[in-house]
Structure 1
């Protein structure tokens, strides 16, 4: 008879990292009806910070105010990419390019369709189940479009919570226009309909939105309420326009006063003038590093043209000679041109507006003439000389060779101008298609993070803190960064909680929760009203087994941020671990009600319902988690276990195979699949899964136990011996392990070797194992 062994059920909890990253899977225990199940904890959603009155700047005016006096500039600017950067969908600005709007994404085995219904636009996802039925259907309205379409368009949905969510399918202008997955989505386990648009993303893609009270602090949830701007307006480069507009309408106002009331970038110093462009056109990399850190205490939209950018943002880069020096990404214009000799030797004379008119962008043949003329400002005599010498054709087209278009490494469906001005065009096909790269795990950057802009941080305590924080915030330089951050905090104890949170998170990310816990506590002491810090503390306390203290911290977080689903989710997990199932259900249901598109609370509800014997409710919860996130390995594993327990092996196999396709090196899922296969009497397949499970995790005692038992049942006692020995090594106190090894030794003829193990089993605490061991000892003539 196939044994009712331990199964591994996956429980969704965990913690978001400081920059919108999700934590790794953890485990806890749950008793189910016929087996002991170990619960796997999966990612939890992002947190909100405590509310405080938002500082809404009343110095801005409606964008169209500028058109009253600057009509011609207004009309041409509206046609630029910046002027068309963000808008609502309509028949006039088609969602795509009119081509087929259904796209099959093979890595995730999903179909994505954009469609129009009664004047509204939607994006839909479905998958095909065996038999042809559509499953895991998700449809969201397209409320906004981000991107002019010069290179790409992304489609956004505004949730009932007023978050903006990027939908998976994007549109790209190359090749006449086509559909493909948005950056970062070309993988089996993408973010689906859950990628939220943070304020730092909106900063460069739209005018400044109104921030709801309490949502302008670090780690707060980005919410977008009406009226939402549509497009980057004049005030992004010229600063707030209210005073300027009022003076312009005031009789007798002096022209000089009117001019001084608005920022004209051309009248700024060279550095401040360039920073007007740098604010959005400098990104050292979009891969985890970090590219930049916003200074704590600064709001997400506080920067004003004419003010030093370093007072708001610090930019970082990979260390030199680490294989990242020649990277070319979608927002690398400033980064690349700053490497050019033309820029370096110009002493500030070459700047963005030397070549670019932000108010009017030339196109086609006009663009070629325009940019050639910009080059001739410095190179006319040299160019004319080589033409006269017959060394260069008379036609120019300078950018074609010296600033060619290239495919970008991070947005692989787009090409952009390489602003690194080179003497000779790089060799090779610069437009060749490339696979999307995902820097996770083994291929992620692991090295020092260095300042980029400013290149040298000012000598101040905060500089040490931010540079040390940059080493750990994306896990780039953990081995040295943690020590640097701890020492910087020791030398210059900051008042702000965020630095302590950064250090605590770093300790937790390297598997040192005991060192993280007091740092989380210090962060809460620094800011006792921070729901984020309280959430982090509560999560850390739960994982350290201090459940009452965890619940207290989480209840305080919920009091500060009552609409934060993640807090209620974490509190539900805490109550579940305490065995307070009614409280766990209530809090998990609260999380679902606040944000029904989070898959983790659904899956955790399924686990609690299963513990309560409510299998239909558990199945429905697991299926809803999978509908929201079809690549949710833990939910597939849980549902596979449940279906196997009800005898529906066909469906159980389907979900286990999906889980293993997504996460092939998951030892616990392979073990669970082996259990299901054994129950269905597919013993050879079960053996294969157990062997694979142990290849991944040789310390998985249950897999050794089950594989040894399977081999014994097949009469292969000799083959079972190594697994019994490993089981005993891992769990020497287990009477069942000692009994198994003793039995196998006896079957292979090693009676003398069997007796000590059987005697240990007799001395154990398991009554059944004691009785069986005693009986076998008597059969061997060693009864006592």
Structure 2
């Protein structure tokens, strides 16, 4: 159900906000750290009743109703791509067989009639309740924030537009808002049905505010178009992994056949511009699979490149390097490459590779997987070399090679068990890998695959960026302290060379802020803002640093300009909240109210925004002011309860 648009409120006299300007700037250091609390400006009843506390949302425009303001275009990384439907004109049989594989179902527009059944469940850890239902021909995911007394504090209902995954193990769902893709907190798992999405089963999670960027969807969609003015926004133009992900851009290939009249089954007198993975070396053939089947701790792109710049026939290192902790023993969902590379079968063979077992054009017969994979194994191994009698093998697992030598292991966040790809001999009833990533000692990041052809200078640059990304993701400094210390020095050195790299400059600017060197950070951020593309991660990092510093310097006009820019480039509730403070300081009352409400549309439990609205409505709308006051009090109680629960564990 769509909520009505916010009412417009008349601005107050100019004198109303004068006292707020010095107060806001006095509290800026606390505001930036996220603990600023507004003072109540009117007497609000102190009752503890929580009746109808969701009524404030009638004034809030849901994020999926925000007006799109972006034009999209096919970027350089899709140059020469024509889409799988055009490939189909000449390759109907291959198209049909591929359409039966899981890869061909990696992403799709959500069909409410074909989606899993309606459901509802509670998630006590985060004090939320979830419903999945159909309404007016749409699949709706609904989240209700529940107070400590059981009353509803906020209800968010978003229509689901896209489904991610083939359903072999799980399905994840996305809403869309003006070119931003928002992940639903709930996913469907083949083994358990509806449950919390991976990364959401915690007391504090991002709810519907997690934006899925184009890097996240690279392994699920075939082709995208980017916004002309914002790299963070895009739209999907080819759903699911297509032909060209493995064979490369098809325009030249199609043009050559169409203009020459030579059938695709005939042989050219030259090199066909399309890539046939079966004709590549083992390393280059594997690289096509490595696009998505490396489970790196972090990766770093080449200068000015993204994951979308990879072309079949290249090594993955041509565009990026994937790093993993040297002591990693965790069994990962997509760690197939690392696992296979650790297998004796792989190390002692010159031909064993991904497509030895997995034909990307054919789905193995589900009723006879044992025979299918056993036929592959006996190409190198004699059946009588197993060491276990055939009768015993039949009784144990119907003579399945892969069930014994690639045993399944549980993966908690997908509620499923996946096959270990480190082929080996495992003791009965023992998991394939006992270790985990919870190692305490110091380690270091290392490339997952051989990067021998990359110059050392470029490898150092990628390692610097990878270490920074690892620390940003929450890895304790102590885990990689030797490399981290080196990376900071190297980043500042690289940022000062004659031909600086904006990615390294942005990283150095952020590190300068962390090290208490704001002047260095601002100087670097200004250079990044001038030389980077609007909407890129580097430009947003620069805007963040510059905006924070202008707040500290009490330069409200510049801060307002910068936060208006940030809110146009990304969907972050704190950006809208601080913009609201700046709008209010500038006397823009309607714009301030709209900004606070947009912050709450993204994150309904943002206490600071409720406090700001309570203060602004205190003299104009006592009912709304009372609702926001009661709500932020209820949210504070809920937060205290969560803190007590967390500390008691």
- Same fold judged by TM-score > 0.5? yes
Per-residue deviation, residues 479-508 of structure 1 (Å, max 9, x unmatched): 442542333441572522221211222343
Give the one of 482, 487, 494 matched to 1:484: 487
1:117 paired residue number: 135
Give the one of 529, 532, 541 matched to 2:540: 532
2:229 paired residue number: 214
Per-residue deviation, residues 652-698 of structure 1 (Å, max 9, x unmatched): 874433011233499xxxxxxxxxxxxxxxxxxxxxxxxx9xx9xxx
Per the TM alignment, residue 363 of structure 1 is displaced from its structure 2 partner at its CA by: 3.2
Per the TM alignment, residue 612 of structure 1 is displaced from its structure 2 partner at its CA by: 5.2
RMSD: 4.4
In the superposition, relative to structure 1, how do residues 359 and 592 fare at CA in structure 2: closer, same or farther (>3 Å)? Answer: farther
Cα distance in 2, alignment partners of residues 139 and 568 from structure 1:
18
Unmatched segments (≥5 aa) in structure 2: 1-23, 44-62, 64-68
Per-residue deviation, residues 22-58 of structure 1 (Å, max 9, x unmatched): x9944457565499xxxxxxxxx9xx99999943635
2:168 paired residue number: 150
Equivalent residues of 1:125, 1:137 under 8 A apart: yes
Unmatched segments (≥5 aa) in structure 1: 1-8, 16-22, 36-44, 286-290, 624-638, 644-650, 667-691, 696-784
1:236 paired residue number: 245
1:303 and 2:318 correspond: no
In the superposition, relative to structure 1, how do residues 512 and 180 fare at CA in structure 2: closer, same or farther (>3 Å)? Answer: farther
2:587 paired residue number: 582
Give the one of 214, 234, 241 matched to 1:223: 234
1:336 and 2:339 correspond: yes
**Deviating more after overlay: 232-241 vs 450-459:** 450-459
Per the TM alignment, residue 156 of structure 1 is displaced from its structure 2 partner at its CA by: 1.2
Equivalent residues of 1:495, 1:526 under 8 A apart: no
Equivalent residues of 2:617, 2:625 under 8 A apart: no
In the superposition, relative to structure 1, how do residues 467 and 367 fare at CA in structure 2: closer, same or farther (>3 Å)? Answer: same
Per-residue deviation, residues 686-717 of structure 1 (Å, max 9, x unmatched): xxxxxx9xx9xxxxxxxxxxxxxxxxxxxxxx
Equivalent residues of 1:547, 1:574 under 8 A apart: no
Higher relative contact order, structure no. (Cα contacts within 8 Å, ≥ 6 residues apart): 2
Per-residue deviation, residues 325-384 of structure 1 (Å, max 9, x unmatched): x211111111211111111222x4110011111111213342111101111111126627
1:501 paired residue number: 506
2:637 paired residue number: 657
1:462 and 2:458 correspond: yes
2:185 paired residue number: 168
1:598 and 2:602 correspond: yes
Cα distance in 1, alignment partners of residues 625 and 515 from structure 2:
33
In the superposition, relative to structure 1, how do residues 173 and 80 fare at CA in structure 2: closer, same or farther (>3 Å)? Answer: same
In the superposition, relative to structure 1, how do residues 385 and 123 fare at CA in structure 2: closer, same or farther (>3 Å)? Answer: closer
In the superposition, relative to structure 1, how do residues 412 and 316 fare at CA in structure 2: closer, same or farther (>3 Å)? Answer: same
Equivalent residues of 2:74, 2:224 under 8 A apart: no
Per the TM alignment, residue 250 of structure 1 is displaced from its structure 2 partner at its CA by: 3.5
Cα distance in 2, alignment partners of residues 131 and 600 from structure 1:
18
Give the one of 207, 211, 224 matched to 1:192: 207
Cα distance in 1, alignment partners of residues 109 and 278 from structure 2:
33
In the superposition, relative to structure 1, how do residues 582 and 604 fare at CA in structure 2: closer, same or farther (>3 Å)? Answer: farther
Per the TM alignment, residue 602 of structure 1 is displaced from its structure 2 partner at its CA by: 7.0
Cα distance in 1, alignment partners of residues 437 and 624 from structure 2:
33
In the superposition, relative to structure 1, how do residues 426 and 156 fare at CA in structure 2: closer, same or farther (>3 Å)? Answer: farther
Cα distance in 2, alignment partners of residues 490 and 364 from structure 1:
56
TM-score normalised to the size of structure 1?
A: 0.65
Cα distance in 2, alignment partners of residues 232 and 336 from structure 1:
23
Cα distance in 2, alignment partners of residues 664 and 130 from structure 1:
13
Equivalent residues of 2:614, 2:625 under 8 A apart: no
Equivalent residues of 1:292, 1:314 under 8 A apart: yes
Equivalent residues of 2:583, 2:592 under 8 A apart: no
1:555 paired residue number: 561
Equivalent residues of 1:197, 1:222 under 8 A apart: no
1:452 and 2:459 correspond: no
1:417 paired residue number: 419
Per the TM alignment, residue 310 of structure 1 is displaced from its structure 2 partner at its CA by: 0.8
Per the TM alignment, residue 470 of structure 1 is displaced from its structure 2 partner at its CA by: 1.6
In the superposition, relative to structure 1, how do residues 134 and 519 fare at CA in structure 2: closer, same or farther (>3 Å)? Answer: same
2:470 paired residue number: 474
Cα distance in 2, alignment partners of residues 511 and 665 from structure 1:
34
Cα distance in 2, alignment partners of residues 355 and 660 from structure 1:
53
User: Secondary structure of the equivalent of 1:378?
Assistant: coil
Per the TM alignment, residue 201 of structure 1 is displaced from its structure 2 partner at its CA by: 1.3
Cα distance in 2, alignment partners of residues 467 and 197 from structure 1:
25
Per the TM alignment, residue 529 of structure 1 is displaced from its structure 2 partner at its CA by: 6.1
In the superposition, relative to structure 1, how do residues 349 and 118 fare at CA in structure 2: closer, same or farther (>3 Å)? Answer: same
Cα distance in 1, alignment partners of residues 218 and 95 from structure 2:
21
1:126 and 2:144 correspond: yes
Equivalent residues of 1:402, 1:424 under 8 A apart: yes
User: Secondary structure of the equivalent of 1:454?
Assistant: coil
Cα distance in 2, alignment partners of residues 255 and 446 from structure 1:
56
Equivalent residues of 1:102, 1:112 under 8 A apart: yes
2:293 paired residue number: 281
Give the one of 494, 519, 525 matched to 1:520: 525
Equivalent residues of 1:184, 1:438 under 8 A apart: no
In the superposition, relative to structure 1, how do residues 335 and 554 fare at CA in structure 2: closer, same or farther (>3 Å)? Answer: farther
Equivalent residues of 1:528, 1:534 under 8 A apart: no
Cα distance in 1, alignment partners of residues 393 and 609 from structure 2:
72
1:57 paired residue number: 78
In the superposition, relative to structure 1, how do residues 391 and 343 fare at CA in structure 2: closer, same or farther (>3 Å)? Answer: same
Output aligned runs, 1:340-351, within 5 Å: 340-346=343-349, 348-351=350-353
In the superposition, relative to structure 1, how do residues 533 and 553 fare at CA in structure 2: closer, same or farther (>3 Å)? Answer: farther
Equivalent residues of 1:473, 1:506 under 8 A apart: no
TM-score normalised to the size of structure 2?
A: 0.77
Equivalent residues of 2:502, 2:528 under 8 A apart: yes
Cα distance in 1, alignment partners of residues 572 and 186 from structure 2:
30
Figure out how many residues of one structure are paired with residues of the other and give that number: 583
Per-residue deviation, residues 593-634 of structure 1 (Å, max 9, x unmatched): 8777333897555444455572776985897xxxxxxxxxxx
Equivalent residues of 2:563, 2:576 under 8 A apart: no
2:256 paired residue number: 247
Give the one of 297, 300, 318 matched to 1:293: 300
Per-residue deviation, residues 231-262 of structure 1 (Å, max 9, x unmatched): 21111101112222233333543632697121
Per-residue deviation, residues 242-286 of structure 1 (Å, max 9, x unmatched): 22223333354363269712110111122111100000111134x
User: Secondary structure of the equivalent of 1:249?
Assistant: helix
